Amino acid sequence: MTGGATTGTDGPPDPATAVPGPAALLRLTDVSKSYGNVRALRGVCLDVRAGEITCVLGDNGAGKSTLIKIVAGLHPHDSGSYTVGGEEVRHTSPRQALDRGIATVHQDLAVVPLMPVWRNFFLGSEPTRGRGPLRRLDTAAMRATTHRALLRMGIDLRDVDQPIGTLSGGERQCVAIARAVHFGAKVLVLDEPTAALGVKQAGMVLKYVAAARDRGLGVVLITHNPHHAYLVGDRFVLLKRGAMSGSHLKKDITLDELTREMAGGSELDELTHELSRATPDEPVRTTPDSSEPESNA
């Protein structure tokens, strides 16, 4: 590898100087988080910039979920700095993060399966018409707005009145992405959006992730799949046991190198050696040789 910003035993690079480019929409610097005696994150740095996708990769237990919770405002960080648009913040609720333009699409999507698509699209932000006792939901506006917002993202659903639970997993992810874009998100955080999806549906979701980037959003893609990350990512942050094990620009790392680094490199070599078996000199016979005399026993 050449020239990528990497981490080592001396700690992560300074995100303010490691990677040139436009100012970050969101930046974490040396952020740490503990739950009692358990150190979930330590010294993590993250830059999210407009029109770029930053992929955070790691296996289960690497600290990805804790990172999401800090960015989304579910849990405050213990140390380090968290800035949004250059202003240091300390979110104590998801609403505070959302008010600053940080929208998080969790893996479970938080949808109501039996409600129609348009109702889920506006869930919690429903426009109304009329006043006093005559006040009611503006259903016509919600239907029309949902249809237009989905079309702007290139999503053409058969009917926005159909229950969202009847959509495929990939389609529900795309609706969630379009919703975040419509409501003015500047930073979009996606938690494992392609997990448990087939190849075709995962490709569809990645297409709309790229569309959100092209609309000028800063996207954080949390995943354990380096192949999906490399298809759309501009930056890659690797986590291992709560700490950064690498930070790279796409131009500085190949897919094979990214996969190897995520897999642990030397650990993978050691596992390969342990699992390999020497080829026997002769094949093991599973049936008696008819040329040998049968036992009289």
Residue 263 lies in a domain: yes
Q: Confidence band (pLDDT; 50, 70, 90) for 111?
A: confident
Share of the chain above pLDDT 90, in %: 49
Query: Is the pLDDT score of 283 beyond 90?
Result: no
Q: How many CB atoms lie within 10 A of CB 282?
A: 5
Q: How many domains, in total, are found in the chain?
A: 1
What range does the domain containing 23 cover?
15-112+185-268
* pLDDT attached to residue 21: 54
Residue 192 lies in a domain: yes
Q: How many CB atoms lie within 10 A of CB 31?
A: 22
Cα torsion 206, 168, 121, 106: sign: negative
Residue 219 lies in a domain: yes
Does residue 124 or residue 96 have the better pLDDT? Answer: 96
Residues 113-164 have pLDDT tens digits of: 899 999 999 988 888 888 888 888 889 999 999 999 999 888 888 899 999 9
**CATH number for the domain that contains residue 193:** 3.40.50.300
Among 227, 198, 202, CA closest to 190: 202
Query: Is the pLDDT score of 17 beyond 50?
Result: no
pTM of the model: 0.79
Q: Is-contact 225 209, C-beta < 8 A?
A: no
Residues 26-64 have pLDDT tens digits of: 999 999 999 988 899 999 999 999 999 999 998 888 899
Residue 104 lies in a domain: yes
**Structure token digits, residue 130:** 């009329």
Whole-angstrom Cα Rg for the chain: 24
Write the burial class of residue 212 (CB in 10 Å: 0-12 exposed, 13-18 middle, 19+ buried): buried
Does residue 25 or residue 270 have the better pLDDT? Answer: 25
Query: Is the pLDDT score of 12 beyond 50?
Result: no
Query: In sequence order, what are the beta bridge partners of 221?
Result: 55, 190
Q: Confidence band (pLDDT; 50, 70, 90) for 285?
A: low
**Structure token digits, residue 266:** 């030397």
- CA-CA distance, 178 to 211, in Å (whole number)? 10
Residue 32 lies in a domain: yes
Residue 147 lies in a domain: no
Which residue type does 103 have? A
Residue 135 lies in a domain: no
- CA-CA distance, 151 to 174, in Å (whole number)? 11
Residue 292 lies in a domain: no
